[in-house]
Amino acid sequence: MRIDIVSIFPEYLAPLDLSLPGKARAKGLVDIAVHDLRDWTHDRHRTTDDTPYGGGAGMVMKPEPWGEAFDALLPADGSATVVFTTPSGTPFTQAVAAELATHEHLVFACGRYEGIDQRVIEEAGTRGGVREVSLGDYVLNGGEVAALAITEAVVRLIPGFMGNPESLAEESHEDGLLEYPVYTKPPSWRGRAVPDVLLSGNHAAIADWRREQAERRTAERRPDLLLTSSLVHGVEVRGAE
């Protein structure tokens, strides 16, 4: 997979050299390049924003530097997908991560200020795939942290990345539930015992306990997921009577 990230703060993306994405790069599974949007400006101040038509607070990112960035980074055959990180995008989920992990070439466009001129998004759509993605319902100063988070979530799903693919299947969100609580040695720590069932060697009982814990935790913390999970797994959900 090839990943290009375009930002006016390329130094924000330095963690990509470390940890998980760094390992994937070292293994040759992904090729990541970070680009400074200002390299595609031509004025003395390397301007990337301007005031919004129609008035209002804040600044809007100008179309011209983005157009030149796409000219340089998007192949003519339309094979790349541009991911615009924006709080007005569709929510980023594990399902979106899995979908993005099937792409050969992603280009992240990190928005700043109040957003990017809408014509840039339209233009990108004529040059390949487009996604507008949000990390969640809160506001960040820019899309850089979102691009970092999305890259990490996507790269670990590339086949051959995870040492043990089973740990992918078992973790939170893969089955639509939050993960059950986990324990390791010692069996008693500061007077707190590991639940007996986990030491029992009874694998069926352990599986039942974990399922129940995952359902309880999901009901308490994320009841919205329980409804989706029931629908996915074909459980009948009755409305209020």
Known binding residues are 111, 135-140
Number of residues binding to ligand 6GU, judged by CB under 6 A: 12
In the chain, DSSP assigns E strands to 2-7, 31-36, 49-50, 60-61, 81-91, 105-110, 129-134, 188-189, 192-193
- Based on the number of CB atoms within 10 Å of its own CB, is 116 exposed (0-12), middle (13-18) or buried (19 or more)? buried
> Nearest distance from residue 193's CB to ligand 6GU, in Å?
40
- Single out the residue of 58, 136, 165, 181 in contact with ligand 6GU (rule: CB under 6 A): 136
> Nearest distance from residue 143's CB to ligand 6GU, in Å?
4
Q: Which is nearer to ligand 6GU, 69 or 146 (CB)?
A: 146
The secondary structure of residue 147, as a DSSP letter, is: H
Q: Is residue 52 a contact partner of residue 114, using CB atoms and an 8 Å limit?
A: yes
> Nearest distance from residue 21's CB to ligand 6GU, in Å?
18
> Nearest distance from residue 173's CB to ligand 6GU, in Å?
18
Q: Which is nearer to ligand 6GU, 109 or 226 (CB)?
A: 109
Tokens describing residue 28: 């040759």
Stretch 138-157 residues interacting with ligand 6GU (CB under 6 A): 138-140, 142-143, 146
- Asked if 87 touches ligand 6GU (CB under 6 A), the answer is yes
Q: Which residues pair with 148 in a beta bridge?
A: none
> Nearest distance from residue 178's CB to ligand 6GU, in Å?
21
- How does strand 2-7 pair with strand 31-36? parallel
> Which positions make up the binding site for S-adenosyl-L-methionine?
111, 135-140
Q: Is residue 212 a contact partner of residue 206, using CB atoms and an 8 Å limit?
A: no
The stretch among 94-102, 135-143, 176-184, 231-239 that binds ligand 6GU (CB under 6 A) is 135-143
Vertex 143 angle, CA 113 and 93, to 5°: 135
As a whole number of angstroms, the distance between CA 103 and CA 125 comes to 16
- Asked if 86 touches ligand 6GU (CB under 6 A), the answer is yes
Q: Which is nearer to ligand 6GU, 131 or 210 (CB)?
A: 131
The stretch among 4-12, 68-76, 128-136, 189-197 that binds ligand 6GU (CB under 6 A) is 128-136
Tokens describing residue 154: 């996507």
What's the length of the chain? 241
> Nearest distance from residue 183's CB to ligand 6GU, in Å?
33
- Asked if 85 touches ligand 6GU (CB under 6 A), the answer is yes
Backbone φ, ψ for residue 36 (5° rounding): -90, 115
Q: Which residues bind ligand 6GU (CB under 6 A)?
A: 85-87, 134-136, 138-140, 142-143, 146
